[in-house]
Structure 1
């Protein structure tokens, strides 16, 4: 995936994760926290690829 793709997917996962954390269901809240973390990691990967080039 390229830099922009990683950043976009990261933003989407982070937003969905935050929304899930608003649930009354503890299982869904935990899933949301995990998905938000995944989104942040994807965004970071996109930033690294941007700094070093998409060939990584």
Structure 2
């Protein structure tokens, strides 16, 4: 998926390398925040079960 995403970004930005890097950095940071929030939600659900 990573290569597929890189290809789509490069096509959309007309192969502008600086813009490609910025978009991929933003995407990576979004994924990190999203995974942290999902992890917190799973912990809350586990605490309720015990």
TM-score bucket (shorter structure): 0.5 to 0.7
Moved over 2 A (4+): none
Q: Which runs of 5 or more residues in structure 1 are unaligned?
A: 1-14
Q: How many pairs align? A: 35
Structure showing greater Rg: 2
Partner of 1:43: 35
TM-score, scaled relative to structure 1: 0.51
**Displacement of 1:46:** 1.0
Which of structures 1 and 2 has the larger relative contact order (alpha carbons within 8 angstroms, sep 6+)?
Answer: 1
TM-score, scaled relative to structure 2: 0.56
Q: Which runs of 5 or more residues in structure 2 are unaligned?
A: 46-50
The equivalent position to 2:23 in structure 1, one of 28, 31, 47, is 31
